[in-house]
Amino acid sequence: MIPVVKTIDEVRKHVKAWRRDGLSIGLVPTMGFLHEGHKSLIDRAVRENDRVVVSDFVNPTQFGPNEDLEAYPRDLDRDAALCDEAGASLIFNPEPEEMYHAPLTTVSVDKITKVLCGKSRPVHFAGVCTVVSKLFNIVTPDRAYFGQKDAQQLCVVRKMVKDLDFDIEIVGCPIVREADGLAKSSRNTYLSPEERKAALCLSRALGKGRKMIDEGERSAAAVKAAIRAEIEREPLARIDYVEAVNMDSFEDAEEAAAPLLAAVAVYIGKTRLIDNFIIE
């Protein structure tokens, strides 16, 4: 069975031994409660690296005061079985005290973290960038794998890596969906059966927007309006945002053309779900 280690020192021991043997290392940062989306990242990391570390850590610093830190689902045994089966080499599952000793240092990326999810989650990306930087320094991977479902996170991490000269390749992986289109997320477990049905409005609305562009629509405002209208037809949905931005600058897009990120965040009951599509 795959080793599960709790301390930074233990990770470093494994990494040192692998490096002595000239092996390459992939990192898949996760908050656990792994699903098919995470598995696709781990599978790719296993294909592309000699050893793969999966971090399994519900990072408290990326949750705001009224968010779901306590409720966030956890199941280390199930995660370990999935990682083992996928061929990962090590799980790093620290306690918060192992990662944070009254820190005075934060890593934050400006501007592109102030919009979309950053607007309603003001501390989120600094928490993500800080923990991801720490994981990069602990594991020193050659490659790190992130899902496109958190498209803004992927862009923010890429920018951080460029700005801070981390010698790490960031690999973005496609969104994995349920058969009916719902993007896989650990937070889907919060949904009641009725909410689960309602949650389909995200992928349905984005699908409509995407189709409009494929059929020649060039106005980003028109695409956004259509996405918003489709979500608003669902009584259980409350929109946090519907945005279409230039994927490099994160400024509002006028034209619905590459590089475009169309992204939504929607509350279904109390559960906040995100989804997106990209035109590259």
Write out the catalytic residue numbers.
38
State which residue, 83 or 256, has the beta carbon closest to ligand PAF. 83
Contact yes or no for 244/250 (Cβ under 8 A):
no
- Least Å distance, CB 178 to ligand PAF, is 18
Per rule CB under 6 A, is residue 144 in the interface with ligand PAF? no
- Least Å distance, CB 19 to ligand PAF, is 23
Question: What is the C-alpha radius of gyration for the chain, rounded to an integer number of angstroms?
Answer: 19
Q: Which residue stretch of 26-34, 192-200, 205-213, 239-247 sits at the interface with ligand PAF (rule: CB under 6 A)? A: 26-34
Considering only residues 61 to 100 of the shown chain, the ones binding ligand PAF according to CB under 6 A are 62
Q: Which of 27, 46, 86, 128 binds ligand PAF (CB under 6 A)?
A: 128
Per rule CB under 6 A, is residue 262 in the interface with ligand PAF? no
Size of the site for ligand PAF (CB under 6 A): 10
State which residue, 128 or 265, has the beta carbon closest to ligand PAF. 128
Q: How many residues does the chain have?
A: 280
Q: Which of 2, 42, 52, 59 binds ligand PAF (CB under 6 A)?
A: 59
Structure tokens at 92: 């790093």
What's the CA gap between 110 and 150, in Å, rounded? 18
Per rule CB under 6 A, is residue 263 in the interface with ligand PAF? no
Contact yes or no for 157/128 (Cβ under 8 A):
yes
Per rule CB under 6 A, is residue 31 in the interface with ligand PAF? yes
DSSP state for residue 276 in the 8-state scheme: E
Strands 237-246 and 260-268: antiparallel
Looking at the DSSP bridge assignments, the partners of residue 28 are 54
Per rule CB under 6 A, is residue 132 in the interface with ligand PAF? yes
Considering only residues 150 to 179 of the shown chain, the ones binding ligand PAF according to CB under 6 A are 150, 153
What's the CA gap between 79 and 100, in Å, rounded? 23
> At 103, is the secondary structure helix, strand, or coil?
coil
State which residue, 29 or 94, has the beta carbon closest to ligand PAF. 29
**Which residue, chain included where needed, has tokens 């709790």?**
6
Per rule CB under 6 A, is residue 130 in the interface with ligand PAF? no
Structure tokens at 136: 């990069």
Three-class SS of 144-196: EEEEHHHHHHHHHHHHHHHHCCCCCEEEEECCCECCCCCECCHHHHHCCHHHH
**Which residue, chain included where needed, has tokens 């945002």?**
241
- Least Å distance, CB 141 to ligand PAF, is 13
State which residue, 89 or 152, has the beta carbon closest to ligand PAF. 152
**Which residue, chain included where needed, has tokens 């498209």?**
151
Q: Which residue stretch of 67-75, 124-132, 219-227, 260-268 sits at the interface with ligand PAF (rule: CB under 6 A)? A: 124-132
Per rule CB under 6 A, is residue 113 in the interface with ligand PAF? no
State which residue, 38 or 224, has the beta carbon closest to ligand PAF. 38
- Alpha-carbon 199 to chain mean position: 18
Name 77's Cβ contacts closer than 8 Å, sequence gap at least 6.
none
Contacts with ligand PAF, residue ranges (CB under 6 A)? 29-31, 59, 62, 128, 131-132, 150, 153
